[in-house]
């Protein structure tokens, strides 16, 4: 595969190889460990390059290959359980010739189940003979550990690596080890129960005899160990508990107990459409899968495999998507980002006082500074969105004590916006890369070619993105409400004035009358990038657009040049750099559409809102496990065909998983006002495929309510309070 690696302009581009065999990978995650298997439950050297068992940004296992009689056993089925706790794989024996006789295929059933817990991957293998006579078979487990950094898996070349230590074999245990250039020793320990018949540096082999109807069970545990951690290790990372690995049965029980505890008090959503319920349930399970315990609460890691770590922007958007149902994610995100807010200027980290984190990494390359992402702040939008989320959290919960605790961080973020965010003092927040190895573009579309003018010429910085101005507007409006709630009225008035001024100047500088949309950006010469993009939809989400222009932007986004039939493309088909199989210039992103739908709803454009919900719901019907990926290609929807997958998309991805909840909220026009103990439905609508929606255990302050929403033939929605505990008012506008 080495000859398939190419270099392009963006050094952090995710490389795709021609050897991919099957895109339907199977993902497990627990804490800072995640695994990507193929459908057989294997980790193979061919196929998807991202297959592996990872811990803290390093691949600790690069091969796990089950063979029966030296052949890959035929696949019957495989799935991730709906709660994402366990991977199960059903296999059978191929035709086996033995001493002139044949063991027909399908005589022996092989059942694999895998679970992750406490930095250990546990596998249980059950083999049962359904034949009419005894059978003798051999099977083996091929193993290897390359200890490559996640950025190496993504295609990054290194001049030097650490040294692979000799493998050790003793008493049914195989130990791989690697001493990194960062001084840390990483070990992969494989413990077999029962011990193999034969064990080498690359394989455990077994001989099994099964009488008619007999079943045998084998187990192995693959533990990731990291030694020699310096005192400066990122305190956000929580290591595995001490002690020996648990059994498969104990590990699966612990994971199930954790999931049950996490979901015990959560609200529940049921609808009249079972397929929609599958989408909801998978999305919720994926959010639980990606949430990781930190010292500041639970944080949704961005996505598997490439972004299984803290990202500021992704965490904020995911928290906003799920806020109406459960504000606990938002609290964890706000706490973490406040604790990691930049204190000093650092050119290499693109950091300035008050700026909110973009990304943090714990691997060898980050520790050595080979990539700048140990703690990296190269994002232009996370800082205003942090303030926006703080305001939204307070409105949702009325949690004054918590807001007061993070208020100094809100003030520092606002100060960063005014002092550092506005590079040239023109009143707009813009970015320009300061780190020689950091990101060139620092909005959510951060690929090398994502900002350009109408002729396709790449824009030069400093660049002021249209949606970022919207986020700043929303941040100042939210901070003003917070300031009033905390008794800081003069500061609130000043912020309101600044927001109003920004809104007027934005309309003057960004509106493109002939395109009926806002310019993608202003370049370094203050020339508008006159391109139809989905970015303009975020301006509706933020509320910076005027009523009349919001309607025109919506019409532009819903026309066939922008709307593929599955969702709104990042770039319209009319534009110079439109490419439906690009990362940011013509693809469809679920979170992008969810934010746009919330913007449509904000301006009362409910037909357009339902169109986006319907498009992504239809897409979910055709996708493996009903799971929306990070993105998919922007080809027009064709009758009888499915969405075209993007080859290296993260699946699952937190903000894609959260999109269904924001889309549903947008249709219902639902606002949860915790401080007022009030639920407000503003012009609620539901598409025809949703006749009923039941919401149980929705908390509003100290109160709790169960609701039934019913769609009548004329399309109007009846809201019924089924159960109410405590004082809460339900208002339908």
* Token pair in block for residue 636: 């027009």
Strand order in the sheet with 678-681: 670-673, 678-681, 729-732
- pLDDT per position as a tens digit, 17-38: 433 434 579 999 999 999 999 9
Number of independent structural domains in the chain: 2
- One domain, residues 182 and 288: no
Q: What is the reported pLDDT for 20?
A: 40
Kindly tell me if the per-residue pLDDT of 239 is higher than 60: no
pLDDT of residue 23: 55
User: How high is the pLDDT of residue 48?
Assistant: 52
Contact between residue 362 and residue 182 where contact means Cβ atoms under 8 Å apart: no
Question: 376, 350 in Cβ contact below 8 A?
Answer: yes
pLDDT score recorded for residue 461: 87
219 and 349 in a single domain? The answer is: no
Asked whether residue 244 is domain-assigned, the answer is no
Start-end of H helices in 351-488 = 364-368, 382-397, 400-416, 466-485
What distance in Å separates the CA atoms of residue 598 and residue 540, rounded to the nearest whole number? 8
Give dist(CA 2, CA 50) in Å, integer. 14
Kindly provide the residue ranges of all beta strands, DSSP E only, lying in 62-162, ordered along the sequence: 63-68, 75-80, 87-92, 96-98, 101-103, 108-117, 120-129, 135-144
Instruction: Please say whether the beta carbons of 443 and 380 come within 8 A.
Output: yes
Confirm if 583 and 631 have CB atoms less than 8 A apart.
yes
For residues 451 and 598, membership in a common domain is answered with yes
Of 238, 257, 274, which residue constitutes the final position of a domain? Answer: 238
- Name residues whose C-beta falls within 8 Å of residue 561's C-beta, 6 or more positions apart in sequence: 532, 572, 573, 574
Report the pLDDT value the prediction gives residue 210, as an integer from 0 to 100. 96
- Claim to verify: residue 341 and residue 229 sit in the same structural domain: no
Residues 595-628 have pLDDT tens digits of 999 999 999 999 999 999 999 999 999 999 999 9
Question: Residue 111's domain is classified under what CATH number?
Answer: 2.70.98.40
At 126-162, the pLDDT tens digits run 999 999 999 999 999 999 999 999 999 988 889 999 9
Query: Is there a domain that residue 312 lies in?
Result: yes
- Which range is least confidently modeled, 244-253, 285-294, 393-402, 423-432? 244-253
Determine, yes or no, domain membership for 634.
yes
Clarify whether residues 204 and 277 are in a common domain.
no
Count of CA atoms in the C-beta half-sphere (13 A) of 472 = 27
Domain boundary among 619, 636, 668: 668
Q: Measure the CA–CA gap between 163 and 45, rounded to whole angstroms.
A: 21
Residues 471-528: tens digit of each pLDDT: 999 999 999 999 999 999 999 999 999 999 999 999 999 999 999 999 999 999 999 9
Q: Which helix (H) or strand (E) holds 610?
A: helix 606-622
Domain shared by 373 and 295, yes or no: yes
Place of tokens 């997958």: 645
In a domain? residue 27: yes
Give phi and psi for 730, each to the nearest 5. -115, 120
pLDDT at res. 675: 86
Do 270 and 229 lie in one domain? The reply is no
For 282, 533, 589, 623, 662, the CA distances from 596, given in Å and listed in that order, are 22, 12, 11, 22, 10
**Sorting pLDDT into bands at 50, 70 and 90, what band is 4?**
very low
DSSP states of 285-298:
HHHHHHEEEETTEE
Q: How many residues are present in the chain?
A: 733
Alpha-carbon 457 to chain mean position = 31
Interval 335-385: pLDDT, tens = 999 999 999 999 999 999 999 999 999 999 999 999 888 899 999 999 999
For residue 587, tell me if it sits in a domain: yes
For 178-224, the pLDDT digits (tens) are 999 999 999 999 999 999 999 999 999 999 999 999 999 999 999 99
**Which tokens go with 280?**
């909801």
pLDDT band per the 50, 70, 90 thresholds, residue 49: confident
Same domain? For 389 and 442 the reply is yes
- Among 99-108, 240-249, 454-463, which range has the highest average pLDDT? 454-463
Whether 59 and 173 share a structural domain = yes
Q: Tell me: the pLDDT tens digits for 412-435?
A: 999 999 999 998 899 999 999 888
Is residue 651 situated within a structural domain? yes
CA distance 431 to 463: 5
Q: What token pair was written down for 210?
A: 């099964």
Report how far residue 568's alpha carbon sits from residue 590's, in angstroms, rounded to the nearest whole number: 9
In a domain, 32, yes or no: yes
Domain co-membership, 271 together with 228? no
Examine the domain organization and report whether 459 and 584 are in the same domain.
yes
Task: Check which CATH number belongs to the domain holding 565 and give it.
Answer: 1.50.10.10
The DSSP line for 613-674 is HHHHHHHHHHSGGG---S-B--PPP-TT--PPBPTT--SSBHHHHTHHHHHHHHHHTEEEEG
Residues 64 and 149 in one domain: yes
pLDDT, tens only, 716-726: 999 999 999 99
| In the chain, % of residues over pLDDT 90 | 87
Residue 380 · residue 465 · CB < 8 Å = yes
> Which residue is associated with the tokens 């991805």?
653
On whether residue 427 sits in a domain, the answer given is: yes
User: Is the pLDDT reported for residue 438 higher than 60?
Assistant: yes
Contact criterion met (CB below 8 Å) for 336 and 298: no
Read off the pLDDT band of 578 (50, 70, 90).
very high
Q: What is the pLDDT of residue 371?
A: 87
CB 606 within 8 A of CB 629: no
| Strands 203-210, 198-199: pairing kind | antiparallel
Contact 541, 612 (CB under 8 A): no
Which of 645, 668, 691 delimits the end of a domain?
668
The domain of 512 spans 265-668
């Amino acid at each position: 595969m080495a000859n398939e690696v190419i270099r392009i302009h963006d050094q952090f581009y995710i490389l795709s190889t021609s050897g991919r065999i099957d895109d339907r990978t199977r993902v497990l995650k627990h804490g800072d460990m995640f695994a990507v298997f193929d459908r057989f439950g294997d980790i193979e050297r061919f196929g998807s390059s991202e297959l592996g068992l990872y811990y803290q940004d390093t691949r600790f296992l690069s091969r796990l290959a089950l063979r029966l009689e030296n052949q890959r056993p035929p696949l019957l089925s495989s799935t991730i359980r709906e709660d994402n706790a366990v991977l199960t794989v059903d296999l059978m024996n191929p035709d086996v010739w033995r001493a002139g006789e044949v063991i027909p295929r399908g005589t022996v059933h092989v059942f694999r189940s895998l679970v992750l817990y406490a930095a250990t991957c546990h596998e249980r293998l059950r083999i049962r003979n359904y034949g009419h006579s005894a059978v003798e078979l051999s099977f083996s487990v091929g193993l290897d550990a390359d200890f490559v950094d996640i950025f190496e898996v993504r295609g990054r070349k290194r001049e030097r690596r650490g040294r692979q230590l000799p493998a050790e074999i003793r008493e049914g245990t195989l130990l791989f080890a690697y001493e990194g250039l960062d001084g840390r020793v990483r070990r992969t320990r494989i413990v077999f129960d029962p011990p193999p018949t034969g064990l080498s540096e690359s394989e455990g082999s077994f001989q099994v005899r099964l009488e008619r109807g007999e079943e045998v069970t084998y187990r192995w545990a693959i533990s990731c160990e990291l030694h020699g951690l310096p005192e400066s290790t990122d305190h956000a990372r929580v290591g595995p508990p001490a002690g020996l690995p648990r059994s498969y049965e104990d590990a699966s029980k612990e994971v199930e107990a954790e999931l049950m505890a996490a979901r015990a008090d959560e609200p529940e959503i049921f609808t009249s459409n079972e397929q929609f319920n599958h989408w909801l349930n998978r999305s919720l399970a994926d959010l639980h899968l990606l949430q990781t315990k930190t010292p500041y609460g639970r944080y949704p890691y961005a996505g598997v495999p490439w972004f299984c770590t803290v990202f500021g922007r992704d965490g904020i958007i995911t928290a906003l998507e799920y806020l109406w149902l459960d504000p606990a994610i938002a609290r964890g995100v706000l706490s973490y980002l406040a604790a990691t807010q930049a204190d000093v200027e650092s050119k290499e980290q693109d950091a300035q006082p008050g700026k909110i984190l973009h990304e943090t990494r714990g691997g060898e390359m980050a520790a050595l500074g080979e990539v700048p992402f140990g703690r990296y702040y190269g994002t232009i939008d996370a800082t205003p969105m942090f303030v926006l989320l703080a305001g939204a959290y307070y409105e949702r919960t009325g949690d004054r004590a918590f807001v007061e605790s993070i208020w100094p961080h809100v003030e520092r973020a606002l100060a960063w916006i005014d002092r550092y965010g506005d590079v040239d003092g023109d009143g707009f927040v813009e970015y320009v890369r300061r780190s020689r190895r950091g990101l060139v573009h620092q909005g959510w579309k951060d690929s090398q070619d994502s900002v350009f003018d109408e002729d396709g010429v790449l824009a030069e910085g400093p660049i002021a993105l249209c949606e970022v101005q919207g986020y700043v507007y929303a941040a100042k409006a939210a901070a003003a409400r917070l300031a009033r709630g905390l008794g800081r009225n003069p500061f609130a008035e000043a912020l309101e004035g600044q927001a109003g001024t920004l809104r007027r100047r934005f309309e003057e500088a960004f509106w493109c009358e002939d395109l009926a949309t806002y310019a993608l950006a202003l370049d370094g010469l203050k020339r508008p990038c006159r391109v139809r993009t989905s970015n303009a939809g975020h301006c509706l989400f933020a509320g910076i657009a005027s009523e009349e222009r919001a309607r025109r932007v919506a019409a532009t986004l819903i026309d066939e040049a922008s709307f593929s039939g599955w969702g709104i493309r990042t770039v319209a088909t009319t534009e110079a750099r439109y490419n439906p199989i690009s990362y940011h210039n013509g693809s469809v992103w679920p979170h992008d559409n969810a934010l746009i739908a919330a913007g449509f709803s904000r301006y009362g454009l409910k037909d357009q809102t339902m169109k986006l919900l319907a498009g992504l719901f239809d897409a979910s019907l055709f996708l493996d496990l009903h799971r929306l990926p990070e993105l998919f290609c922007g080809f027009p929807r064709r009758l009888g065909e499915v969405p075209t997958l993007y080859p290296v998309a993260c699946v699952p991805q937190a903000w894609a998983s959260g999109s269904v909840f924001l889309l549903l909220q947008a249709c219902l026009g639902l606002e949860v006002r915790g401080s007022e103990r009030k639920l407000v439905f503003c012009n609620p609508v539901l598409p025809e495929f949703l006749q009923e929606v039941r919401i149980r255990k929705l908390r509003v302050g100290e109160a709790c309510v169960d609701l039934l929403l019913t769609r009548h033939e004329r399309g109007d929605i009846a809201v019924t309070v089924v159960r109410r505990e405590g004082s809460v008012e339900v208002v339908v506008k």
